[in-house]
Amino acid sequence: MKVLVIGGGGREHAIVWKLAQSPRVDRIYCSPGNAGIAELAECIDIDPSDHESLKDFVRYEWIDLTIVGPELPLSRGIVDAFEREGRRCMGPSKSAARLESSKVFAKEFMKRHGIPTAEYRAFTSYLHAEEYVRMKGAPIVIKADGLAAGKGVIVAGTTDEAISALRLIMKEKAFGAAGERVVVEECLDGEEASYLVFSDGETVLPMVSSQDHKRVYDDDQGPNTGGMGAYSPAPVISPEVEQKILDRIIKPTVKGLKREGVKYRGVLYAGLMIKDGEPYVLEFNCRFGDPEAQPILSRLKSDLLEISLAVTDERLSRLSLEWRPEAAVCVVAASKGYPGRYEKGKTITGLDKLKGLPDVIVFHAGTAYNDDSIVTAGGRVLGVTALGKDIRDARQRAYRAIREVHFEGMHYRKDIASRAVKG
């Protein structure tokens, strides 16, 4: 079979890497891909937002399945466009993807269906939002309503910080149209975790648990990023907590959407806060997380192609998933200045030393070729993922490996998964 993967980050490299292991996959294309993906797939120069050109490519090349990695094409209805022409496309419809593309929609949906989440208010008026923040006090969370590449959530420790966040989003338009509405939310304490499932609109198949590290610096300091590292499993999700997540969050979400006339087919990601053994939804994503996809797919034994086909063809109930028992840890190397302004074109060295290392995989994100050299081409450049007998072992392997990689201005957190090891 021929498969097209849309996207060009670490998540998409992990998807391509896993697809390449399927005996049924003959050829993989990726739009636009990156230097690491190019070793496994043919990268095509089509913008992921150019749905018409992508449809033309799928028709011309007789692509059997398309898998959408990033949130933006999903929010703009790429799955609907493909399915109207009878093309298999793995991902939720535009209506279903509103769970991620509009935080206001997601909060209102959870309220309608009794799904546990933090108290909130939504605003289109800066003055009303500021008045509410002053009344509620801090800590408090300010969220841009729309998509902001994982950076539109600001946890404010003081009232002044919260008002600065409102000004940044609503007046300075730091995230463009995504900030025309904001959600002002109660700040929950506890421990964060990520829980992902495959869904075909009827059946849900859970993936292994994981935990992301959003802040750019150690000890969860600095601004939010797309993710600086992740590990799996997340010890905070015990079997008892997992059952609560499925019964109170995942299943009611899929059933609630169905009652509202929307079938959820694709990957559903619940970003959670676990407080005293009780799960609350912080946010929904409608695709694999990045970097959570890297440790999760590293642990997946089952064939990702077969799972994806079962999702699109609505026959997920016939499958069961197999997972490797090892733990996995991913550490992300970022460009200097990320998540703000950063330079590109820095030569990356040391990657050859990691090739062939057992249970170590380098997933490229912002990389490109410059003649025969691989250079930086994004804020998050690559993620080194390692498997080990437990989180401590996987963590040691990942850090031992990433120390072999170098580029000018390279930055990575030194405390990925440290909480799990201490726990």
Percent of the chain with pLDDT over 70: 100
| Of 169, 232, 242, residue with least CA distance to 391 | 232
Residue range(s) defining the domain that contains residue 311: 191-318
Residues 273, 190 contacting (CB under 8 angstroms): yes
Give the rounded percent of residues in the chain with a pLDDT score beyond 90. Answer: 95
Let me know: does 327 contact 390? Beta carbons within 8 Å.
yes
Q: What is the CATH number of the domain that holds 158?
A: 3.30.1490.20
What number of other Cβ atoms are within 10 A of residue 40's Cβ?
A: 17
pLDDT over threshold 90, residue 30: yes
Question: Which strands make up the sheet holding 380-388, listed edge to edge?
Answer: 211-212, 229-232, 327-334, 380-388, 360-364
Q: Which tens digits make up the pLDDT trace of 360-386?
A: 999 999 999 999 999 999 999 999 999
Handedness of CA 144, 150, 151, 155 (dihedral sign): positive
Overall domain count for the chain: 4
Mean pLDDT of 269-274: 96
Peptide bond into 295 cis (omega under 30): no
Q: Which residues pair with 154 in a beta bridge?
A: 142
Using alpha carbons only, give the angle 352, 356, 357 rounded to the nearest 5 degrees.
100
pLDDT of residue 223: 87
Examine residue 104 and state whether it is found in any structural domain, yes or no: no
Separation between Cα atoms, residue 280 and residue 271, nearest integer Å:
9
Cis peptide, bond prior to residue 32, ω within 30 of zero: yes
* Residue of 308, 200, 195, 196 whose CA lies nearest to 254: 200
User: 162 and 57 in one domain?
Assistant: no
Domain holding 233: CATH number?
Answer: 3.30.470.20
Q: Indicate if 263 and 295 belong to the same structural domain.
A: yes
Domain end point (choices 293, 318, 343) = 318
Q: pLDDT value at position 78?
A: 97
The pTM assigned to this predicted structure is 0.95
Q: Count the residues in the chain.
A: 423
Vertex 225: Cα angle to 421 and 154 (nearest 5): 100
* Within a domain: 111: no
195, 176: one domain: no
The rounded mean pLDDT for the chain is 96
- Report whether pLDDT(356) > 90: no
User: What letter does residue 108 receive in the DSSP assignment?
Assistant: H
What are the φ/ψ torsions at residue 174 (nearest 5 degrees)? -60, -30
Instruction: Give yes or no: residues 242 and 340 share one domain.
Output: no
Same domain (yes/no): 150, 263: no
CATH number at residue 383: 3.90.600.10
Residue 186 lies in a domain: no
C-beta of residue 126 within 8 angstroms of C-beta of residue 170: yes
Contact 116, 248 (CB under 8 A): yes
- The pair of structure tokens assigned to 380 is 């998050």
Last residue of a domain, one of 318, 348, 372: 318
The confidence band for 134, taking pLDDT boundaries of 50, 70 and 90, is: very high
Asked if residue 258 belongs to a domain, the reply is yes
- Does residue 204 fall inside a structural domain? yes
CATH code (residue 58): 3.40.50.20
* Residue 406 pLDDT > 70: yes
Alpha-carbon distance values, 2 to 24, 38, 164, 285, 372 (Å):
9, 16, 49, 27, 28
Same domain, 149 and 252: no
Q: What's the rounded mean pLDDT across residues 109-121?
A: 97
More confident residue, 148 or 406: 406
Residue 423: its pLDDT value, please?
A: 53
Tokens 């208010």 sit on residue: 121
The strand pair at 327-334 and 229-232 is best described as antiparallel
Looking at residues 201-222, what average pLDDT do you find? Answer: 96
Asked whether residue 110 is domain-assigned, the answer is no
Q: What integer is the mean pLDDT of 334-348?
A: 96
Query: Which region, left, alpha or beta, applies to residue 350 given φ > 0 means left and ψ of -120 to 50 means alpha?
Result: left
The reply to whether 217 and 258 lie within a common domain is yes
- Residue where a domain terminates, one of 318, 335, 355: 318
Are residues 209 and 310 both part of a single domain? Answer: yes
Q: What is the pLDDT of residue 290?
A: 95
Q: Within a domain: residue 269?
A: yes
What are the Cα distances from residue 99, in Å, to 71, 93, 94, 249? 11, 11, 10, 13
DSSP characters over 286-337 = SS--TTTHHHHHHHB-S-HHHHHHHHHTT-GGG----B-SSEEEEEEEE-TT
Average pLDDT over residues 51-61: 96
Place of tokens 């009652």: 259
Instruction: Indicate if 164 and 145 belong to the same structural domain.
Output: yes
Instruction: Give yes or no: residues 314 and 202 share one domain.
Output: yes
Domain co-membership, 197 together with 309: yes
From the CA atom positions of the chain, what is the Rg in Å? 20
Look at residue 241 and tell me if it is in a domain: yes
pLDDT grade, residue 152 (50/70/90)? confident
HSE value, Cβ hemisphere, 13 Å, CA-based, for 89: 25
Do 352 and 375 fall within a single domain? Answer: yes
